[in-house]
Amino acid sequence: MKAFRQFVVKLASAALACAAAWSPSLSAHAADPTFAKTQHPIVLVHGLFGFSSVSGIDYFFRIPAELRANGATVLVASVSAVNSPEVRGEQLLKQMKQWAAAKGYKKFNLIGHSLGAPTARYVAGVAPSMVASVTSVGGTNDLSVGGSQSALLDTLLGFKNLANVMGKVIGAASGNAGLPQDENALKAFALDTPGFNRRFPAGQPTSACGQGPEQDKGIFFYSATGNKPKTNFLDLSDVILQANAQFATDGLVPVCAAHWGKVVRDDFPWNHLDEVNQVLGLRGSGPDPVAFYVSQANRLKGKGL
């Protein structure tokens, strides 16, 4: 098993490096060194089966660099690829405390994609004094929404230990082999998001598929999501996401399930991977996802965050 994992890590790293060489360039951004300069650092939190970086390829593909070019201080979290928001949240909180001790940061603007959204919300719930804002992008915020138990997620978690093995391979490839992977904890969350939301309700929508308060208990909450599972015929991941789409969804997370706090926009022509500019920038002709993160940082800056 160890030899197999090492082989998979090497193969995945080589594939990513090759793909990066031919991936399409992003739309040009006129960098402004103050446009995204928020008062507090921005922390990017990856989702399920995510990573901070593998072989120099960011999960949030080319997003940290563009934010920094526009003045933002950006930190990228390293949390378990497969685990509950509570466990991942404690890992995130530990990193935030380390960053605060090293740099004197008082608060952070958390931006979480997919499972990274409830992970960030957990930290906002247990350590509110350290959180200025939480932005959910394609967030798995309310999986009690009708049809939200995604067929793809059910398949991935339906094979015993498969998710754990995938998590360990991703952890090793990203230099985080020591982080625990626990598909059972993730399943428990997926089956009981209402229970999680009762414990961490700040920002919760006040009506079905509606919006929540923009500010709750001193923390600002925002959300955004795509609604188009298939966006680029060259991207093989689109085929999987399209097959999984049975309702208004980004191919993995239903539009209504992603709502939390003030909804910035819930009809971006993106799928779940486009939301972080993956795979390697392949997407349709819609708005540039990278530009969204820069504009969201500008929104936070305008709020004094």
Domain presence at residue 4: no
Domain presence at residue 244: yes
What's the confidence (pLDDT) of residue 250? 79
Please choose, from the candidates 65, 44, 42, the residue with its C-alpha nearest in 3D space to the C-alpha of residue 297: 42
Distance CA 155, CA 293 (A): 31
Domain presence at residue 11: no
DSSP class per residue in 55-87: TTEESSTTHHHHHHHTT--EEE----SSS-HHH
Domain presence at residue 7: no
DSSP-derived pairing of the beta strands 131-137 and 219-226? parallel
Domain presence at residue 211: yes
The contacts of residue 126 (CB under 8 Å, 6+ apart) are 89, 93
**146 or 36: whose pLDDT is higher?**
36
Query: Does residue 204 contact residue 260 with C-beta atoms inside 8 Å?
Result: yes
- Tell whether the torsion through CA atoms of 129, 259, 266 and 273 is positive or negative: positive
**236 or 27: whose pLDDT is higher?**
236
Q: ∠241-245-248 over CA atoms, to 5°?
A: 125
CA atoms within 13 A on the CB side of 13: 17
Catalytic residues: 114, 250, 272
Q: The pTM is what? A: 0.84
pLDDT-derived band at 150, boundaries 50, 70, 90: low
- Spell out the SS3 assignment of 9-50: HHHHHHHHHHHHHHCCCCCCCCCCCCCCCCCCCEEEECCCCC
Please choose, from the candidates 115, 114, 142, the residue with its C-alpha nearest in 3D space to the C-alpha of residue 259: 142
> For residue range 161-218, what is the model confidence (pLDDT) as tens digits?
677 766 677 767 767 778 878 888 888 888 889 999 999 999 999 998 999 999 999 9
Domain presence at residue 278: yes
Domain presence at residue 209: yes
Please state the domain count of the chain: 1
> For residue range 74-105, what is the model confidence (pLDDT) as tens digits?
999 999 989 999 999 999 999 999 999 999 99
| CATH classification of the domain holding 88 | 3.40.50.1820
SS3 content of the chain, % helix, strand, coil (to 5): 40, 15, 45
Q: Average of pLDDT values for 153-164? A: 62
> For residue range 219-259, what is the model confidence (pLDDT) as tens digits?
999 999 998 754 444 445 444 444 455 555 778 888 999 99
Domain residues for the domain of 118 are: 31-302
Give the three-state DSSP class for 223.
Answer: strand
CB atoms near residue 94 (< 10 Å): 11
Query: Does residue 251 contact residue 229 with C-beta atoms inside 8 Å?
Result: yes
Domain presence at residue 13: no
> For residue range 114-123, what is the model confidence (pLDDT) as tens digits?
999 999 999 9
The mean pLDDT value of the chain amounts to: 82
State percent of the chain over pLDDT 70: 76
What's the confidence (pLDDT) of residue 123? 98
